[in-house]
Structure 1
């Protein structure tokens, strides 16, 4: 794992915003209506591999590895549940329409989402897992175990966290490494990636890790 660097993130953010500007110029009239009355660019996330920007009701995802973008677009096309609308794609930029509603919740915070909305999300996840498998493989059990080993080794070698804490949480994570029957998985299914409005699910975002895999993800 690369050691985090704020300086590197700032440089990457500058590059991302430059790519964003080029993409807007290329799209011209297609984006002009969307951008009317919008001020500023919000950097949602940015690191050494990829970044997501928000401009009004449009999300711009910039990824150095376009194979992830290929997976995301194809997965959203195949998924039998609501996903963001793809507005346009000009590598390395993918433009997606913002979903209506709000995130299902925030980790560590009380949930204000209705029980009916939670039930709707559960039903949608079941529909996804029962759908035909995508043709590309997801992360294997061996790859996940190897990634966990690398992460824990880095944490210990760099004294990021106490040894007891790393080892205890590693044991918890290893409990999830068990045989499973592949399903159409999202790959990063978390509260912030599921959007609801009232008692209905409006969509699921961030499909770059989707594939055949463990239903837990």
Structure 2
């Protein structure tokens, strides 16, 4: 391990990288809960949740080769970028609906993970 990298940091949230582990520290536990639920349901490769100890969420790096690094030219092929774009488009159409529905159900006293509820519907569509 080459040390600890600050990926992003501000008053409400910080993300640190230590080798192949990302540590997300968030003052809003509900945001972390939604993120973990979205990771579990996302129809594309996502990081594995290693552990949760509020206010910290530990995630494994997503396996594979990085398409690029901030501030450096990318060496990835056009095909790799096209595949990444297709995955992002699939996730963007899927995630907004999923997160809004899960949030609404939770805020109104429903369990979105109950059998036959929103999470089951989303899993069936994958």
- TM bin, normalised by shorter chain, reads 0.5 to 0.7
Report what 2:75 is aligned to: 112
Alpha-carbon distance in 2 for matches of 1:93, 1:66: 9
Residue of 10, 27, 44 corresponding to 1:64: 27
Report what 1:134 is aligned to: 98
Alignment partner of 2:40: what SS?
A: helix
Q: 1:48 to 1:80 in 2, by over 3 A?
A: same
Alpha-carbon distance in 2 for matches of 1:59, 1:52: 7
TM-score (norm 2): 0.64
Alignment partner of 1:67: what SS?
A: helix
Structure 2 segments unaligned to the other structure (5+ residues): 102-126
Q: 1:113 to 1:91 in 2, by over 3 A?
A: same
Higher RCO (Cα < 8 Å, 6 or more apart) = 1
Q: 1:54 to 1:119 in 2, by over 3 A?
A: same
Report what 1:145 is aligned to: none
Alpha-carbon distance in 2 for matches of 1:61, 1:49: 11
Structure 1 segments unaligned to the other structure (5+ residues): 1-37, 138-217
TM-score (norm 1): 0.40
Larger radius of gyration between Structure 1 and Structure 2? 1
Residue of 42, 66, 82 corresponding to 1:79: 42
User: Are 1:91 and 2:51 counterparts?
Assistant: no
Q: After TM superposition, which residue ranges in structure 1, 4 or more long, deviate above 4 angstroms? A: 106-109
- Aligned-residue CA RMSD (Å): 2.5
For residue 50 of structure 1, report the CA deviation from its aligned partner.
1.1
